[in-house]
Amino acid sequence: MRTLTLALCLALVACETNTPEATKDQTPAQADQAQKPADAKPPAAAPTELPAPEDVAAPPAGAESTPSGLASVILTPGTGADHPGPTTKVEVHYTGWTTDGKMFDSSVVRGKPAKFPLNGVIAGWTEGLQLMVEGEKRRIWIPEELAYQGKPGRPAGMLVFDVELLSIVKPPAAPADVAGPPADAEKTASGLASKVLTPGTGESRPAATSVVEVHYSGWTTDGTMFDSSVERGETAKFPLNRVIAGWTEGLQLMVEGEKRRLWIPEELAYQGKPGRPAGMLVFDVELVKVVKP
């Protein structure tokens, strides 16, 4: 559970978060960990090491090559049809070796798949995973210039990965009424519009200073999703007096267990500030819990 997430942090003058962002020189394991809350405990590693492939030293003659120097061979054909994009979040199992056959990382050994966005890992992963479909297992030879480029403390030289693309994590689809509130939406004097999607099970509503735990996704009115705790698989927790005015007002209309769609006009959102989502914003919000009334 995150204390504050990106879009909600934007409403603050100063924002601190306990969730570091992934950077492109991370290993897949580090990128996966960057998606987890700070107090998440990593699974215990199994006391085994997977043997290196026979062709770990260099790609075989029949390997598929790209202009960047990436080489790969399909080990198991996939069952899906779609390929991930350069920013898509994926779930994978993988094992990595240096060309001398030394294993340096393995989600298989840990017994838990890794999940991360493809723009949060090394360039060879960003490119290589886009060649794959769900269910596919592929061996990828990543030259050093697409890996860690000799950075201290990172695996050196060409790296070899066996990767299984378990799933492409698809973001929540934009609502059909994302462009504007429907006629039956509830409206307040401030211009906020909302509609109950799922009735709540609680009775009390949060106050303007309450701490709440929510799941949410946010879109601009053209249907572009800019933030989603649902996609990350982690709820968000924050005080209502530290977010944009539309959230402060909108959440006070809700009870625990309720899911509501909010159409927040720009004057209750980011007011045209550079680098912030522009115009009216649309959020699907589930009030999981009022943590502190």
Give the burial class of 153: count Cβ atoms within 10 A of its Cβ; 0-12 exposed, 13-18 middle, 19 or more buried.
exposed
Active site residue 161: yes
Active site residue 264: no
User: Where is pLDDT greater, at 119 or 250?
Assistant: 250
Across the range 138-164, mean pLDDT stands at 96
CB distance 250 to 260 below 8 Å: yes
Q: What is the pLDDT of residue 39?
A: 52
Choices 3.30.390.30, 3.10.50.40, 2.40.30.10, 3.40.50.300: CATH for 28-33+43-169: 3.10.50.40
Do 28-33+43-169 and 173-292 agree at the fold level?
yes
Q: What is the pLDDT of residue 35?
A: 52
Q: What is the pLDDT of residue 284?
A: 98
Contacts of 278 (CB under 8 A, 6+ apart): 220, 266, 270, 272
Residue of 25, 74, 104, 226 marked catalytic: 104
Residue of 32, 116, 122, 270 marked catalytic: 122
Nearest to 188 by CA among 248, 145, 148, 128: 248
Active site residue 238: no
Across the range 166-189, mean pLDDT stands at 94
Residue of 32, 105, 162, 284 marked catalytic: 105
Active site residue 94: yes
Buried b (16+ CB within 10 A) or exposed e, 62-73: ebeeeeeebbbe
Confidence check: pLDDT of 12 > 50 = no
Residue of 32, 116, 161, 162 marked catalytic: 161
Question: Percentage of residues in the chain with pLDDT exceeding 90?
Answer: 75
Q: What is the pLDDT of residue 6?
A: 35
Question: In the predicted model, what is the mean pLDDT of the chain?
Answer: 87
CB distance 33 to 18 below 8 Å: no
Give the start-to-end residue ranges of the domains of the chain. Answer: 28-33+43-169, 173-292
Instruction: Give 231's pLDDT tier (boundaries 50, 70, 90).
Output: confident
- The reply to whether CATH 3.10.50.40 applies to domain 173-292 is yes
The tens digit of pLDDT for each residue in 269-288 reads: 999 999 999 999 999 999 99
Residue of 32, 94, 216, 270 marked catalytic: 94
